[in-house]
Structure 1
Amino acid sequence: MKLLATFRSSRAHIALRRIIGPLQWRSFQPDFVPRDPNAKPRRYKYPAVYDPYGPRPPPSDKIIQLVERIAALTPEERRQIGPTLRERLKHPMMKPISVEGIDFGGGGGSGAGASKTEEKKAEKTVFDVKLEKFDAAAKIKVIKEVRGFTNLGLKEAKDLVEKVPAVLKQGVTKEEANDIIEKIKAAGGVAVME
């Protein structure tokens, strides 16, 4: 009510009244009737289970007899029902979709997928050496070691070390990677082989 009183006293009210006109203005005013505070709220009864297609008629006796006869068949005979119906009703044959080469994700992996990844790990012959962290006191020693095996200048080596974690060298053999890791460890840093 305060809002309506404020609106009526404002300039917008006067401008709107001029635009609409005096006769239409009466029909424009809202007829707001507040809800009775003592009235009980309406309660709607919802069905226990929602069925979008509505109630269905019960199956006929013919269908019930057919279901009973199908249930009495052996599993081998039941497997023949689908192809026979498809042939009789001339439904198109559903062709299987090949999923070869598709990665479905999921790291759980059992069966052939897990054995393939194990084979790939065993085949790996080249590695990358990555600097994980280093002691702040040993920063200069680590920079010297990085310069020793990367052929970088002082500034480039310093920038590389400060961007921890950073790949120091790529495509090295396992023996060379272990040698670099030992040198970094002796200088006060932690490097890993990937």
Structure 2
Amino acid sequence: MHSITTRIPYKTLVRALFFAQSRNLCSASATTQKLERIADELLNLTKLERYDYSILFRLKLGLNKYGPAVSGLASADSASTGSGSAPADAKAAEKTAFDIKLEKFDAAAKIKIIKEVRTFTDLGLKEAKDLVEKAPVVLKKGVTKEEGNPIVEKLKELGATVVLE
């Protein structure tokens, strides 16, 4: 014998049960048209949209531990809201890690430059010599501006052309 639930579509059954329980728990005045519309829209979402919604809802509540949703729904929202704040993001994303690049050096100061390169890198004499001779080459990556400026100044004093990129 078939039960009544096999004849009623799933979404209709869920809606009926949800609103029957909500009317029993809450007063009739508290259940508004807006809440019913939101519930209907949530029930009409696909699985992917429900997943994206759950991620977005957690994000809005400050409970985000999985990162933003990956689907087109969330990325379209972030693209539309993010387009107006692009200049502000560029200022906020100021470069903090720099590379020290040796562009060229004076041949007479080659030995002094190799010795200086050895002081701020963990290279041996042969490795430092090979590195300096490959100019233009990046001597050190990911240094802060405060760390890089004294090194650049010292190498410039020795006769090298060095830039902080």
- Normalising by the residue count of structure 2, what TM-score does the alignment of the two structures yield? 0.47
- Normalising by the residue count of structure 1, what TM-score does the alignment of the two structures yield? 0.40
The structure number with the bigger radius of gyration is: 1
Specify which structure has the higher proportion of helix: 2
